[in-house]
Amino acid sequence: MTSVVSSPPRTVRIGSRKSQLALVQTHWVKAQLQKAFPEINFEVHTMSTQGDKILDVALAKIGDKGLFTKELELGMINQEIDFAVHSLKDLPTNLPEGLALAAITERENPADALVVHEKHKDKQIDTLPEGAVIGTSSLRRLAQLRHQFPHFTFKDVRGNLNTRMAKLDAGEYDALILAYAGLERLGMSDRIHQVLPKEISLHAVGQGALGIECRADDTELISLLKAIEHPPTRDRCLAERAFLRDLEGGCQVPIGVNTEIDGETLTLTGIVASVDGQKLVKDTVSGSTEDAEKLGTELAKLLRQQGAQEILSEIFAEIQRGA
């Protein structure tokens, strides 16, 4: 009688940035997968990305494509890790050859949030005083807020969330604009003073969702990762990413979106704005969730007809000049 030798359980290596938020997100993904597949060993491996190392330069001046993802992607290509967990808004819309976006998890509220210094706790964004110093590292937020509130002073802010909060509390800023999802995931939702409505600030493509990237030929792993995908979030984010891809914009370009699903109908709103907030084009499309990516492409075409390409070309030229 021959004995059956059982193969050892597969070990799956998860890549993550070292930041506190990245680790919280990665360990959440690990827990979900471990619960679904208790027979598999999941290990977290951390890496520092270029975006984690350069903290004294505005993101837009570095050039952002792959700023927070490149090292993790090399780790997958070199077989050092099996998949990586990203904040989806940091993941470029064109992935390196051989890699694929395997799953998108249920998103937190994707809105931007206002966090204020103690002295402004009785204010909302539209009642902050003239000249109030608003901290943001996002050209998208900057452009939309300049359009709405030209009387504010805007100042770049970098560093992890705790560092930014410390600068705010020390009085370097009157308020910060941050992602609601990041504050929520780090247990700082008590600092959210106001959730900015979409009329003031459309969010970043993929904001609030996690994107799981792996080698495109690892079909076994892809089928595992699909277990934690959230189809409505996937459809919304695929529409948003197709819109961004078609406009050839990175996450540090003033492109904002909002998506909603009602039954089988997906509605996508997009905006392209100049950094000074003077020029702004905005439109909305609706259609079937099955045509999510087509809707993104359609919206990009509509905004191009309204001058979006000229706005983006000016921004790219400014960035290249080191403006």
- Residue 265 maps to which CATH number? 3.30.160.40
- Residue 76 maps to which CATH number? 3.40.190.10
Domain assignment present for residue 201? The answer is no
Instruction: Please give the structure tokens belonging to residue 222.
Output: 């892809």
- Note the pLDDT of residue 116: 98
- Note the pLDDT of residue 133: 98
- Note the pLDDT of residue 53: 44
Q: Is the pLDDT of residue 26 over 60?
A: yes
69-86: average pLDDT: 93
Give the lowest-confidence range in 2-11, 68-77, 154-163. Answer: 2-11
Q: How many other C-beta atoms are found inside a 10 Å radius of the C-beta of residue 169?
A: 13
- Note the pLDDT of residue 9: 67
- Note the pLDDT of residue 248: 78
Percentage of the chain lying above the pLDDT 70 cut:
89
- 79 with 116, same domain? no
Domain assignment present for residue 319? The answer is yes
Q: Domain count of the chain?
A: 3
Contacts of 191 (CB under 8 A, 6+ apart): 115, 165, 183
Give the lowest-confidence range in 66-75, 89-98, 101-110, 287-296. Answer: 66-75
Write out pLDDT tens, residues 81-98.
999 999 999 899 999 999
- 94 with 116, same domain? no
Domain assignment present for residue 314? The answer is yes
274: buried, middle or exposed (CB in 10 Å: 19+, 13-18, 0-12)? buried
Instruction: Please give the structure tokens belonging to residue 9.
Output: 């359980």
Average pLDDT value over all residues in the chain: 90
Domain assignment present for residue 1? The answer is no
pTM value > 0.85: yes
- Give the C-alpha separation, 249 to 206, whole Å: 13
98-120: average pLDDT: 97
125: buried, middle or exposed (CB in 10 Å: 19+, 13-18, 0-12)? buried
- 259 with 218, same domain? no
Domain extent, residue 215, equals 7-106+208-229
Bigger pLDDT: 56 vs 226? 226
Write out pLDDT tens, residues 198-220.
999 999 999 999 999 999 999 99
Domain assignment present for residue 203? The answer is no
Give the lowest-confidence range in 68-77, 90-99, 280-289, 304-313. Answer: 68-77
- Note the pLDDT of residue 49: 62
Domain assignment present for residue 307? The answer is yes
Domain assignment present for residue 200? The answer is no
Active site residues: 90
Contacts of 256 (CB under 8 A, 6+ apart): 140, 144, 201, 202, 203, 204, 270, 271, 273
239-258: average pLDDT: 87
